[in-house]
């Protein structure tokens, strides 16, 4: 039986850096993935991202799956399903709405989870502030900037993001090292295979697109998820959820720098409200 790694709660500093590094890598990877959409579609880009990342991690981690017990397989399968849902719906959303607002809306998932795990009225107040920021996005530039279908897709991704936090912590405890994450990414890619295979095939014949897809897999999956799983072994789930406070701002910056997606003053203010809510929740926890 695999022994669960201890949480290093007494030394949170490295875990904080891991989460911040994950945020930056994830959003740069998402910006790169958007460059694949015109050829592969969002489903094809998502499949390439998880499939290539899974191949890299399987080669590095070499998980000893034959010795896994039933509870370990359950944890890894749940993580794989949450990865498929979170990434699939999020990439479908950013094909319709800009990266910064998409992450700002999606961030309601982990922040709400943090409040639920806390059960303190003060933390629910921070969630309401974040929700006000998200609502303000709908009125940015006269309410014409956000596609309603894109908003719905990213709200579904937000639910899967909260599930991912729970599943990642569980899988990280059940399976030592990166083997659980490698198999979970494989499971996620298999879940996405029916909808994404036709688009993914188009990138496999282009060295340029294949290079972008590989960079996306590394920056948006291998690096951030490895860092997050390591952080979750050192931090409580609620603390992890609220430490993602800068992710909407990082996403907005990545969208501006890499995708030429300008943000209106109203949208910037909305992102600021969500970041403020998370920082407040973190500082007062």
Q: Could you report the per-residue pLDDT of 141-150, keeping only the tens digit for each?
A: 544 568 889 9
What pLDDT does 55 receive?
A: 92
Statement: the pTM of the whole predicted model exceeds 0.85: no
* Whole-number Å distance between alpha carbons of 214 and 261: 23
* Whole-number Å distance between alpha carbons of 92 and 88: 6
Give residue 1's pLDDT band: very low, low, confident or very high (50, 70, 90). very low
The radius of gyration of the chain's CA atoms, rounded to the nearest angstrom, is 18
Give residue 281's pLDDT band: very low, low, confident or very high (50, 70, 90). low
Phi, psi of 261 (to 5 degrees): -105, 95
For residues 23 and 244, the answer to whether their CB atoms sit within 8 Å is yes
Cβ-based neighbours of 182, under 8 Å, separated by 6 or more? 54, 57, 58, 60, 61, 63
What pLDDT does 113 receive?
A: 82
Length of the chain counted residue by residue? 285
Here the tokens at position 232 are 């979750």
pLDDT at 16 over 50: yes
């Amino acid at each position: 039986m695999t022994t669960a790694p201890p949480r290093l709660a007494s030394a949170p500093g490295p875990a904080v850096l891991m989460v911040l590094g994950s945020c930056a890598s994830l959003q740069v990877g998402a910006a790169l993935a958007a460059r694949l959409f015109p050829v592969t579609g969002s489903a094809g880009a998502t499949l390439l991202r998880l499939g290539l990342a899974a191949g890299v991690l399987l080669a590095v981690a070499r998980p000893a799956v034959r010795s896994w017990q039933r509870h370990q397989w359950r944890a890894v399968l749940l993580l794989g399903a949450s990865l498929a849902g979170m990434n699939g719906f999020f990439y479908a959303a950013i094909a319709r709405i800009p990266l910064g607002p998409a992450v700002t809306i999606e961030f309601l998932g982990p922040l709400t989870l943090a409040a639920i795990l806390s059960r303190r009225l003060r933390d629910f107040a921070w969630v309401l502030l974040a929700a006000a920021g998200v609502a303000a996005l709908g009125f940015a530039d006269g309410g014409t900037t956000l596609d309603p279908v894109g908003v719905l897709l990213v709200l579904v991704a937000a639910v899967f993001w909260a599930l991912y936090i729970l599943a990642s912590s569980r899988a990280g405890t059940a399976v030592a090292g990166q083997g659980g994450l490698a198999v979970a990414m494989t499971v996620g890619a298999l879940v996405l295979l029916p909808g994404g295979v036709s688009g993914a095939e188009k990138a496999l014949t282009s060295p340029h697109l294949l290079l972008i897809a590989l960079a996306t897999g590394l920056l948006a999956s291998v690096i951030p998820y490895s860092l997050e799983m390591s952080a979750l072994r050192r931090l409580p789930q609620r603390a992890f959820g609220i430490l993602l406070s800068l992710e909407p701002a990082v996403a907005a910056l990545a969208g501006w720098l890499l995708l030429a997606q300008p943000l209106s003053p109203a949208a910037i203010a909305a992102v600021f409200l969500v970041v403020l809510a998370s920082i407040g929740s973190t500082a007062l926890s």
